[in-house]
Amino acid sequence: MPHISIPTFHRLREHLSRSRLRFAIPPLVAVFAWAVWVVVAGIASGHPGPIPLFALLTLFLVILTLAIAGAATPFPLVAGILSFHGRIQTMLVTVAAMAPLVFALLITPHRWKGEAPLLADRLPLLGWFFDGVINALPLAKNTLAHDLVFSGLTFLGFYLECVLVATIFYILLRVVISLRRPNSGDGSNTE
């Protein structure tokens, strides 16, 4: 069975770090995660009763993947000014900062009120915008088309909220680093 050696992994990492494709990888990962969820949700919708365990686990993995991809999308804002360990710590802190967005996505008050679900209940930052988009579309509520668009806009909105939070965090981090080291040119401390 072939395996990937450490030097091969480092060559791949070096190649991707210089490639123009590095900026497109996080959004492509987000699209792939959403596509996996569409397939799994389609399979799970044919099962009677509660949601199957494989679909629930896939949902959590897709949400985690979208949060990580959302944190990685604007990462080039700070990649050049942090050391290797600083980049790892920054990414971990940024993904952890997505926890309130995950809670808002999973804890939905429409189930308590008995009302139709709103994207604003799931997406605290951009939900109002996506509610306007879905209400402008000529889709009848509680139909397959409406549910598919609702699901797609939910995950798109979650990804964009993660990108927005990460962008603000990285801009603030870049400002703090430049204020702490005003005489170092670009403020870089790369190793």
How far apart (Å, rounded) are the C-alpha atoms in residues 185 and 177? Answer: 11
* Whole-prediction pTM: 0.80
In this prediction, residue 115 carries a pLDDT of 63
Which pLDDT belongs to residue 191? 45
State which amino acid sits at residue 39.
Answer: V
Per DSSP, the residues of 3-31 read ---HHHHHHHHHHHHHSGGGGTHHHHHHH
Going from the first residue of the chain to its last (191 residues), give the mean pLDDT of each consecutive group of 10, the final group possibly shorter: 66 70 85 88 76 87 92 86 85 90 80 68 87 85 78 90 93 88 56 45
Amino acid 67: pLDDT: 93
Q: What's the pLDDT score for residue 149?
A: 83
What pLDDT is recorded for position 16?
Answer: 67
List of residues 6+ apart from 41 with CB closer than 8 A? 55, 151
